[in-house]
Amino acid sequence: MNKEVNNNLNKNTSQEDIEFLTTAVPIIKDLNDEQIEMLTTSLPVIKDYTEEEINELIKKIPTLKKEDIAKIKDALKPVEKQSNKEKIIDLLKTKRCKLLIILGILIIILTVISVGTSFALSSQNEEYENYFFEIDKKENPNMEIYNIPKDSPNFIKDSKASQIVSCMQSNTPIEKLPESVTSVINEINDYYNKSINRFAYKYVDIYTGFTVSYNENQHIFTASTIKAPTDIYIYENAENGSIDLEEKLLYTKKYYNPGAGYIKLGEENTYYTVRELVKNSAYYSDNVAHTMLMDRFNKDDMLAFWKAKGTNAIFTRPTIWGETSAHDAAIYMNELYNFYEKGSDIAKELMSYFTDNGGQFLTPPQGLTTANKSGCAGSVMHDISIVFDENPYIVIALSNLGCLSAGSYFEDVSNLTYKLHKAYWDYKVSSCINK
């Protein structure tokens, strides 16, 4: 090898380069971009080596073979030199490209979240706010009249008081009801038969168990009336010590519901006690409160609690809303009344949530106090109530009339029911005292 070649190798190939090649050559096929860049920088002329220079390089590096040089030369293909300006432009393009990719990914993620949230909310709305219940026909378009058995109080046997009380509480044979009572029953029956959307009705005299119902067993979407049985369940279990009303539950965005209530307007990550949530549920008909309570307490336990009392519609759908019937609703309100009659502070507190709210559709004459849980969603509009007359009674009015087209339905039902109740007790008092 001539002197010129040797000088060229000495000048361009340092000991450090040789050591680097010695290490890099065995794995040349696995070189990454950074290693190739290092080779390009350290050995700028290797791509131009002649055959003699390559042979001399092989002598200096015993592990180096001609095929390795070929690999190196392939790895070190000429690259056009860029000006600083061009390098900066390419760098900016690269960064901009990365930024655009990141922004694109973020937009996709946000879009997916938005669509998912919208879908979830639309599912909630379809399930609750915009629920339309189609009715082809009523299961029973005729009034039913019957008596619910009641326990008689203990009075002195054969005393006048005992005889009167026994008479008052006794079941009146349906066939012996006077025309003053049956005519009102027929009037209510005719009223309900005028529209398929006047769905179901039930009247129960709490003291005697005298009952008049219309299509009471057919199911319909419950709307917010479901909050009555869930809130009653929680407070009864609080009284027996199995639920702590001061337990705090955290409101997060997963509980958001666009329907009724005020919690949705407050700040997320706020704690509410179970007591506060029940009040919001019963008093303000707050959907968020109901959702949080249903997430905390076992729906299956609630179902078992109410089935044991004779219900057959509650939670028959796999949601926290579900269906109801006039039959079930009357059981809820009768349970609320019996709980209240125990006289405990906790029972009085619960009753106050139902008697002092603004969602009362059934408002009987005479300024009587009522305990109500109404519900309105999509095509359904209901009210289930206790009327605190001198002789309290329960009235259930379910409809498929819609939130904006119920018209005078509840006022009509209130007046007809009060008329029935008065006629019944006028007959009862007269027949028992004059007996």
The answer to whether residue 341 scores a pLDDT higher than 90 is yes
CB 395 within 8 A of CB 385: yes
| Cα–Cα distance list, 14 to 21, 55, 57, 68, 211 (Å) | 11, 16, 11, 18, 108
Per-residue pLDDT at 122: 39
In this structure, how many other beta carbons lie within 10 angstroms of the beta carbon of residue 86?
11
Report residue 47 as tokens: 């791509």
Q: What value does the mean pLDDT take over residues 351-372?
A: 86
Highest mean pLDDT among 55-69, 92-106, 131-145, 355-369: 355-369
98 or 254: which carries more pLDDT confidence? 254
Per-residue pLDDT at 47: 52
In this structure, how many other beta carbons lie within 10 angstroms of the beta carbon of residue 175?
7
Q: What value does the mean pLDDT take over residues 176-195?
A: 96
Nearest CA to 294 among 240, 222, 384?
Answer: 222
**3-class SS at 340?**
helix
Q: What value does the mean pLDDT take over residues 339-348?
A: 96
List pLDDT tens digits, range 101-158: 566 666 666 555 544 444 444 344 445 545 566 677 788 888 788 787 666 554 444 5
Structural domains in the chain plus CATH codes? 3-75 (no CATH), 143-243+297-433 (3.40.710.10)
List pLDDT tens digits, range 217-248: 999 999 999 999 999 999 999 999 999 999 99
pLDDT category of residue 284 using cuts at 50, 70 and 90: very high
**Rounded Cα distance, 188 and 393, in Å:** 16
Among all chains, which residue has been given the structure tokens 């409101």? Answer: 251
Per-residue pLDDT at 61: 60
**3-class SS at 382?**
strand
Percent of the chain with pLDDT over 70: 66
Strand partners, 198: 399
Report residue 431 as tokens: 């027949």
DSSP at 35: H
List pLDDT tens digits, range 256-278: 888 788 899 888 999 999 999 99
**Rounded Cα distance, 364 and 370, in Å:** 8
Strand ranges of the sheet holding 143-147, from the earlier edge strand across to the other edge? 143-147, 210-214, 198-205, 393-399, 380-387, 370-377
In this structure, how many other beta carbons lie within 10 angstroms of the beta carbon of residue 262?
11
**3-class SS at 312?**
coil
The answer to whether residue 11 scores a pLDDT higher than 70 is no
Which class for 23: exposed (0-12), middle (13-18), buried (19 or more C-beta within 10 A)? exposed
Highest mean pLDDT among 26-30, 359-363, 423-427: 423-427
| Cα–Cα distance list, 348 to 172, 328, 413, 428 (Å) | 33, 23, 27, 30
Per-residue pLDDT at 303: 94
In this structure, how many other beta carbons lie within 10 angstroms of the beta carbon of residue 1?
12
**Rounded Cα distance, 170 and 209, in Å:** 9
**3-class SS at 432?**
helix
Report residue 242 as tokens: 């199995």
**Rounded Cα distance, 91 and 97, in Å:** 10
Nearest CA to 152 among 85, 195, 207?
Answer: 207
261 or 374: which carries more pLDDT confidence? 374
Furthest CA-CA distance within the chain = 145
8 or 185: which carries more pLDDT confidence? 185
Element (H, E) at 71: helix 66-75
The answer to whether residue 428 scores a pLDDT higher than 60 is yes
DSSP at 259: S
CA 173 distance to own-chain centroid: 47
Helices (H), 61-150: 66-75, 84-124
Strand partners, 295: none
Burial state string for 289-319 with b = 16 or more CB within 10 A and e = fewer than 16: bbbbbbeeeebeebbebbeeeebebbbeeeb
The answer to whether residue 167 scores a pLDDT higher than 60 is yes
The DSSP-derived string for 6-23 is HHHHHHHS-HHHHHHHHH
| Cα–Cα distance list, 159 to 53, 165, 168, 427 (Å) | 134, 10, 14, 22
Report residue 21 as tokens: 């090649």
Q: What value does the mean pLDDT take over residues 394-401?
A: 95
Element (H, E) at 290: helix 287-296
- The pLDDT mean for the chain works out to 78
C-alpha gyration radius of the chain: 41
The answer to whether residue 7 scores a pLDDT higher than 50 is no
Nearest CA to 205 among 386, 427, 342?
Answer: 386
Q: Residues for the chain: how many in total? A: 435
